[in-house]
A = this chain, B = another copy of it.
Amino acid sequence: MTVSLNFWFDFASTYSYPAAMRIEQWARDRNVAVVWRPFLLGPIFADQGWRTSPFNVYPAKGRYMWRDLERICAAEGLPFVHPDPFPQHSLLAARVATALEGAARARFCLAVLAAEFGRGQSIDSEEFASGILREIGAPVETLARAGSLEVKAALKDSVEQARALGIFGAPSFTTEDGELFWGFDRLAAALDWARDRA
> B-contacting residues of A (Cβ < 8 Å)?
47-48, 58, 60-61, 63-64, 67-68, 71, 75, 166-169, 179-183, 185-186, 189
Contact = CB atoms under 8 A, between A and B. Distances in A.
Contacts of A169: 61
Contacts of A179: 67
B48 A166 contact: no
A189 B61 contact: no
Nearest to A44: B60
Given A48-B58, A58-B48, A64 B185 contact: no
B60 A168 contact: yes
A166 B63 CA distance: 8
Contacts of A166: 60, 63-64
10 contacts: A47-B60, A58-B168, A60-B167, A61-B169, A63-B166, A64-B180, A67-B179, A67-B180, A68-B186, A185-B186
A47 B58 CA distance: 9
A64 B162 CA distance: 13
Contacts of A183: 185
A47 B57 CA distance: 12
Contact of A168 (B64, B167, B182): B64
A29 to B, nearest CB: 19
10 A-B pairs closest in CB distance: A60-B168, A185-B185, A61-B168, A60-B166, A48-B58, A64-B182, A63-B166, A64-B180, A64-B166, A58-B168
